[in-house]
Amino acid sequence: MTQSGAVRSVPLSRVEIDDEIRARVIAAVDSGQYILGPECKALEKELAASLDRQHAVLLANATAGLMLTLDALGVGSGDEVLVPAHTAFPTIEAIFQSGARPVFVDIDESYCLDPSWLEPRITARTRAIVPVHLYGHPCDLDAITDVARRHGLFVLEDCAQAQGAGWRERKVGSFGVAGVLSFYPSKNLPTLGDGGAVVTDDEGLARKLRMLRDHGRKEKLTHDVVGWNLRFNEIQAAATRVLLRRLDASNEGRRRVAARYAELLKGLPLGLPHEAKNAHHVYHLYVVRTPERDALQKHLKAAGVGTGIHYPVPNHLQPATLGRAGVRSEALPRTEAACREILSLPCFGSMRDDEVAYVAQAVREFFATKGA
Ligand SMILES: Cc1ncc(COP(=O)(O)O)c(C=O)c1O
């Protein structure tokens, strides 16, 4: 992190596009191959290797990855999937699209699925657990995989916000039957638009996913099953290959930003993120917490600081969920309290020290006006 000119505004996130990426994109354009060609094949190999898995299957986005994996595993109508309500709606949408029903569980102090909620909610219909490594923090994978093993459930990891995060010695995405990645532009590993992938060691699952993403075919004109068009493309794969090589450095940048915020925001009446024992956090989002969230957000906006609320309406209370038949509703006290108080501050790998200092100063000013 270096200093540069006077900071007047800081975005919530920023993708760094440079000449190397532009050159790779132009080369892909000039190649004349646009869908699932050599760049995609190379990226699939590199992604699988980076997460110590046998296979990676590129897709149009992570929502598709969750939906197609549930489908390929045979999870569907009448089945139940345990999932935290505190996640991006697409996690839940994919479960609905598969035909299964989400069974919502609450979160722990790291904002991830609280494993103690799982066992009491397992029924004869439960087939899978979808832990969401939210904000870049891994779920407690010891406890989750233990429950899954004892009850014969699939673990499908939603790693959309946590590429590169770790639990003990391993990266997230390498614990369950499969892990789902998102390359949405604000994610830790972005692409130039939408994109995603599923990583797995299960060859049969990878084969089914390759068919489902491409109209249910293995060969050009023979369609074995009814699938979808959810393929990835060469131009975006070319850019993402470069960004994958930079992922570890970028995640280290995010960790430096988080450490600096922790110093600069110390002593304020503000909840700061924490990193659990055994966890390697990659700070997709730097989420602070205060009952004065809305006023703080307004103050930061006036100072030119981009913020976000991830998420203001928990998924068990979303209109789309409340309108679905058969979804059990249960109060989720930690989730509901968090949704009222959380605020995401700018955090990205290339964020400079003067930008971090600017945001922290603006937060301090807010509390100074309150006499804190
Ligand atoms: C936790 C989580 N899961 C799934 C998704 C869906 O990702 P995509 O936009 O690539 O479909 C997102 C993206 O917002 C997410 O944050």
| Nearest atom within ligand 1 for CA of residue 66 | 4
Tell me the C-alpha distance between 159 and 161, whole Å.
5
Rounded average pLDDT over 182-194 = 97
Q: In the 8-state DSSP scheme, what is residue 135? A: G
pLDDT at residue 147 tops 70: yes
Looking up tokens 């993403």 gives 213
Over the stretch 242-298, which tens digit does the pLDDT of each residue have?
Answer: 999 999 999 999 999 999 999 999 999 999 999 999 999 999 999 999 999 999 999
Please give the angle made by the CA atoms of 113, 117 and 121, to the nearest 5 degrees.
120
CA of 194 to the centre of ligand 1 (A): 10
Ligand 1 pocket test, candidate residues 112, 134, 182, most atoms within 8 A of CB: 182
Kindly list the protein residues whose Cβ atom lies closer than 6 A to any atom of ligand 1.
61-63, 87-88, 90-91, 132, 158, 160-161, 182, 184, 194, 196
Relative to the CA of 194, which ligand 1 atom is closest?
Answer: 10
Q: Six-digit token pair at 277?
A: 């024992």
Residues 253 and 34: their CA atoms lie apart, in Å, by 32
Residue found by looking up tokens 């789309």 in the block: 320
Is the bond into 135 cis (omega within 30 degrees of 0)?
no
For each of the domains in the chain, give its residue range(s) and CATH number, in order of start. 19-245 (3.40.640.10), 247-369 (3.90.1150.10)
Task: Report the separation in Å between the CA atom of 181 and the middle of ligand 1, taken as the mean of its atom positions.
Answer: 8
What tokens does 51 get?
A: 């997460």
Give yes or no for a contact between 254 and 105, defined as CB atoms under 8 angstroms apart: no
> What distance in Å separates the CA atoms of residue 17 and residue 235, rounded to the nearest whole number?
14
Ligand 1 atom nearest to CA at 65: 11
Distance 102 CA to ligand 1 centre (A): 16
CA of 309 from ligand 1 middle (Å) equals 15
Spacing, Cα 2 to ligand 1 middle (Å): 31
Q: pLDDT tens digits for 71-124?
A: 999 999 999 999 999 999 999 999 999 999 999 999 999 999 999 999 999 999
Residue 47 CB partners (closer than 8 Å, separation 6+): 56, 58, 181, 197, 199, 244
**Under a CB-based contact definition with an 8 Å cutoff, are residues 179 and 159 in contact?**
yes
Q: From the CA of 341, how far away is ligand 1's center (Å)?
A: 22
CA-angle at 274, arms to 113 and 339, nearest 5°: 55
